[in-house]
Amino acid sequence: MANIIDGKKIAAETRAEIAAAVEEQKSRGITPGLAVVIVGENPASQVYVRDKHKACGEVGIYSEVIELPETTTEEELLSKVAALNNDDRIDGILVQLPLPRHINEEHILNAIRPDKDVDAFHPVNTGKIMIGNPDFLPCTPAGVMVMLEKSGIEIAGKHCVVVGRSNIVGKPMAMLLLAANGTVTVCHSKTRDLAEVTRSADILVVAIGRADFITGDMVKEGAVVIDVGMNRRADGKLTGDVDFASVSEKASYITPVPGGVGPMTITMLLRNTLTAAELHHKS
């Protein structure tokens, strides 16, 4: 039976470290600030934004939530981003996705100043990740790396398989594992013999958004399995992309859903905001 990687516990430990660093910054007259912009009334987005605001308060980060109506135009949103870019109280800017259909997400994300882009979605920041010189790391992949580190799992020399190639998780996850000297394979919907590839993984990271897709027969004995998925079954229960029951019988370590990677994502957002404040106040 696999060891459970407790995301809640690791997130709490990491947030305590962040809170101490924020307190140290405040002793020097610096209060890190995060602005979160939400457009419309998407229920899931509203929950995420509330959670982010609450987490900021818990570690001492100044937080602003800017709520805009569904009818907000792209020009109006760009104007709000420009104002936040020039607001010295704000070190990090996050525009909650998804945006309404009439707004081009790429235009908005590219308008955020790279040194305030705490989601690490701006092309400048994705480029820095690619060359191995990042200021910020994307929150979910960064959270996975902390979980592996805190669990004492060695990455160097291991075969790391990432299932999923999104810009938010899959691609940056591959880059971070590569930077840690893993040998990385990225799988996607066109991958042939997917199960054969996943069975070769020492570390398997799954981020495809398909409930219980990875089953025990697709995982080799003793693998480390990181489930980034968050899906809701017909009965309303949350589940990941990995069939926990069958995979946990073969894996050496596994993350649960919920309580695995999820708590780490907001934690890494807090850390990126702290980093942004440090960059803005370098003497």
Same domain as 246, residue 144: yes
Single out the catalytic residue among 6, 52, 80, 171: 52
| % residues pLDDT > 70 (the chain) | 100
Q: Is the pLDDT of residue 283 over 70?
A: no
Same domain as 90, residue 144: no
Q: Is the pLDDT of residue 99 over 90?
A: yes
Segment 67-95 mean pLDDT: 98
Cα 175 to Cα 160: distance, rounded to the nearest angstrom:
11
Same domain as 86, residue 171: no
- Phi and psi at 254, nearest 5°, equal -150, 145
Cα 121 to Cα 92: distance, rounded to the nearest angstrom:
12
Same domain as 98, residue 187: no
> Within its chain, how far is the Cα of 145 from the centroid?
10
Amino acid at 268: M
Segment 157-200, tens digit of pLDDT: 999 999 999 999 999 999 999 999 999 999 999 999 999 999 99
Q: Tokens for 260, please give them.
A: 């695995």
Single out the catalytic residue among 119, 202, 241, 243: 119
- Find tokens 């409930």 and name the residue: 211
Judge whether 187 lies within some domain: yes
Judge whether 41 lies within some domain: yes
Same domain as 244, residue 167: yes
Same domain as 67, residue 148: no
Judge whether 279 lies within some domain: no
Counting the structural domains of the chain, the total is 2
What CATH number did the domain enclosing 151 receive? Answer: 3.40.50.720
Same domain as 232, residue 146: yes
Omega into 258 within 30° of 0, i.e. cis?
A: yes
Judge whether 53 lies within some domain: yes
Active site residue 282: no
Asked if 235 and 21 count as a contact pair (C-beta separation under 8 A), the reply is: no
Q: Tokens for 242, please give them.
A: 């990995």
Same domain as 81, residue 145: no
Q: What is the pLDDT of residue 220?
A: 97
pTM, full prediction: 0.95
Phi and psi based region of residue 63 (left: phi greater than 0; alpha: psi -120 to 50; beta: remaining): beta
Same domain as 82, residue 48: yes
Mean pLDDT of the chain: 96
Q: State the DSSP string of the chain.
A: -PEE--HHHHHHHHHHHHHHHHHHHHTTT---EEEEEEES--HHHHHHHHHHHHHHHHHT-EEEEEEE-TT--HHHHHHHHHHHHT-TT-SEEEEPSSPPTTS-HHHHHHHS-GGGBTT--SHHHHHHHHTT--SS--HHHHHHHHHHHHTT---TT-EEEEE---TTTHHHHHHHHHHTT-EEEEE-TT-TTHHHHHTT-SEEEE-S--TT-B-GGGS-TT-EEEE---EE-TTS-EE-SB-HHHHTTT-SEE--SSSSSHHHHHHHHHHHHHHHHHHHT--
Same domain as 157, residue 251: yes
Same domain as 236, residue 193: yes
Judge whether 234 lies within some domain: yes
Amino acid at 239: T
Same domain as 155, residue 201: yes
What CATH number did the domain enclosing 94 receive? Answer: 3.40.50.10860
Single out the catalytic residue among 6, 91, 96, 250: 96
Judge whether 220 lies within some domain: yes
Judge whether 51 lies within some domain: yes
Segment 227-257, tens digit of pLDDT: 999 998 888 888 999 999 999 999 999 999 9
Active site residue 52: yes
Domain boundaries, position 45: 29-113
Q: What is the pLDDT of residue 282?
A: 83
Judge whether 118 lies within some domain: no
